[in-house]
Structure 1
């Protein structure tokens, strides 16, 4: 399966072909001196160019590992047709996705593919390589009647993949999938040909799930309504030994108060024409500096008794109304002042970090290393298409320091809207790293 990253027509780079015949006194490209290749790599500011260079041959790929980029990169935005948007350089690229597959972002370089015949796999769409099949997980998804093509029901809400850590067995990775109804299926991810353990966590949670993530050897699930956080011990990744029913003594962290905020607390919102309050539309879990954070995204509160005419009076200049993001709140897990029970505590600073949030994939990153703004939340959200030429929808940068939102995220996303059909799925952050 050829799934190496491809440039768009406007950003294509062609490498000249050198004769490989030694008798003609010429060297093949793989024999380029490492120091010369390193000098070229240091001059490549774009991750896309480094991806193309690494794809030439094995020797160039190995050299790219020896000569890492001088700085980390901002994440990209991914769309389900294989379009990748480099936000920093406002450049669109494409990856080859099989025609019979639906693609979900699952973290650093990792994508989760679900084929029309039910097959599932994990694959690195940036640097290629062999896909890792997940037949046991695919069987559970089929048993749950999950059809990835039926977008109106959003059958797969989110996919998360653990990284190897001291809390898990060596070379152990886990994959968790939220399917419709808030159920979670978790599977090991072993090399092709090895049997995976799978577990449907239908009875572990008695609430609608807002988000899940792997953190310090556990899987955390956040309740959508009351924001209680449930922690499941993953037993070093040996999930085949976990009980099928919710075990006793599972840790639960109570939710945080979510009273509506007053406009006077947010001076930049005082001119918001919507007079009927705001509500929390989405909650995200993110790990930052070794801590687990919960992020709330607030929007205008809908009022069902409004006529269509009355609702249009409160649309912003760019056409967004009720589902418009107005502010964010960030909480971390701490201890209460009067007892030792853990609880959500509101924070005012990200301590040099920047947050990148989207429903399918969110992450924190050092702002200075990535060229991002400190104490800012980069968000991307799209429930449905407001405008055919606006693929990013409700996106922007929220400052925790003064509460302001900078929009749009990109004035004119390059070569994205023309390739996208009408979708309900959200654009999602992906976090490419060189490996």
Structure 2
């Protein structure tokens, strides 16, 4: 009599746990949970205690899974690159090899769902070679608001909703052309400038669902100039009461929509100048630079600013974080207050090119730690120690962002 086949459901929990630990990819874990009810329960238990680091994505679609240190490749169409990410979605920019026209798409890294963004195509489809998108952020789902900042004066800030239309800030209008980072919070968008001024932008829409902005309000003031001498500072850092008054009392001067965009996209205007870089160069050390970056994140309704000083190496890919400070916006007093010792509530921050995100800490994600994927290091808020995340030479000197595998729904 032939021996009966083993019951897969009879495997011991510790063996199942070892198998799960060797399945970093969401597709493999989905197949695992489909075997039987016991395996599904084992995966649910394992995921309740384990969370891996987010995947590091390069502009060519290649990605690294920190759990196993492997480089993988996402097949992208020719002349397509990644320009940003939100949670488990990436933003793609494809350039036509003949016409040089740009088309934009949101792509889910795990389900492979795709959402075209023709509203962006019509606005920033034909752009100068110097054009760069600095950040793409979805408010919630891909069919909701998508916000975009760029380095060109003509289109510094764009709001679009797929299938509904787009809203474009007027060229050189305050505060849009000085925005260096932003986050969504309910029906508001909060943005910071290099001068550390925080602005609240009230989001709205017309009867057809087309995005709009109803008003802008300054929440915090920028840091005072040393010795009251504003001429010793970067020209982009100054923001005056006149700017704030003008943009609050005359919103029509600040807002626009895509109806004013010329069909032929004539780029001979002075508005095609590029905006200053988001980082602030503090000093130079030989050919190397010390630069300060500022990032805005939202934690349980609170707004945090991460101020980071980095050494930018000229000839070697040894960029690294030198100093980190965290501040919370006091919305009533209009000031930034220092945050030390931790975030509270078991959270961690992830920052990379065009991305700043907070997630719950568990597993490989440590509490009160700020992870910098762009420099491959981390800052422990409890100890104040900065240390490397480990050697990943394939990513040295490359643009990179992160995607976050979704929690399994079981």
State the Cα distance separating 1:241 from its structure 2 match: 5.9
Taking the aligned partners of 1:57 and 1:46, their CA distance within structure 2 comes to 11
SS of match in other structure, 1:362: strand
Taking the aligned partners of 1:282 and 1:154, their CA distance within structure 2 comes to 21
* Gap change, CA 1:63 and 1:83, over 3 Å in 2: farther
- Choose from 233, 240, 243 the match for 2:210: 240
SS of match in other structure, 1:252: strand
State the Cα distance separating 1:126 from its structure 2 match: 1.9
Alignment TM-score, normalising by the size of structure 2 = 0.67
* Gap change, CA 1:241 and 1:370, over 3 Å in 2: same
Report the equivalent of 2:339: 347
Once superposed, which parts of structure 1, at least 4 consecutive aligned residues long, lie more than 4 Å away? 32-36, 38-42, 56-60, 62-68, 236-239
State the Cα distance separating 1:282 from its structure 2 match: 0.9
Report the equivalent of 1:19: none
* Gap change, CA 1:228 and 1:279, over 3 Å in 2: farther
Correspondence list, 1:23-422, <5 A: 43-45=19-21, 48-52=24-28, 54=30, 68=44, 69-70=47-48, 71-117=50-96, 118-129=102-113, 131-142=114-125, 145=127, 150=129, 153=130, 155-163=132-140, 173-181=144-152, 183-189=156-162, 195-202=163-170, 203=173, 205=175, 207-224=177-194, 226-235=195-204, 240=210, 242=212, 247-248=214-215, 250-255=216-221, 257=223, 281-299=292-310, 320=318, 324-335=320-331, 340-348=332-340, 349-351=342-344, 352-367=346-361, 369-381=362-374, 394-407=375-388, 409-412=389-392, 416=394
Where structure 2 has 5 or more consecutive residues not aligned to the other structure, the ranges are 1-6, 97-101, 227-283
Taking the aligned partners of 1:223 and 1:63, their CA distance within structure 2 comes to 52
* Gap change, CA 1:176 and 1:65, over 3 Å in 2: farther
Report the equivalent of 1:428: 401
State the Cα distance separating 1:89 from its structure 2 match: 2.6
State the Cα distance separating 1:45 from its structure 2 match: 2.6
Q: Is the 8 A contact 1:41 1:64 kept in 2?
A: no
Alignment coverage as a number of residue pairs: 328
State the Cα distance separating 1:324 from its structure 2 match: 4.3
What is the CA deviation profile of residues 38-66 of structure 1, one whole-angstrom value per residue up to 9, with x for unaligned ones? Answer: 99699423564332454x79978x99998
* Gap change, CA 1:430 and 1:112, over 3 Å in 2: same
* Gap change, CA 1:196 and 1:204, over 3 Å in 2: farther
State the Cα distance separating 1:220 from its structure 2 match: 1.7
Q: Is the 8 A contact 2:352 2:402 kept in 1?
A: yes
Taking the aligned partners of 2:200 and 2:22, their CA distance within structure 1 comes to 39
Taking the aligned partners of 2:221 and 2:10, their CA distance within structure 1 comes to 55
What is the CA deviation profile of residues 284-343 of structure 1, one whole-angstrom value per residue up to 9, with x for unaligned ones? Answer: 11122332211111136x9xxxxxxxx99xx9xx874xx6421111111225xxxx4332
State the Cα distance separating 1:91 from its structure 2 match: 2.2
SS of match in other structure, 1:341: coil
Alignment TM-score, normalising by the size of structure 1 = 0.64
Report the equivalent of 1:269: none
Cα RMSD after superposing both structures: 4.0
What is the CA deviation profile of residues 255-300 of structure 1, one whole-angstrom value per residue up to 9, with x for unaligned ones? Answer: 454899xxxxxxxxxxxx979xx96521111122332211111136
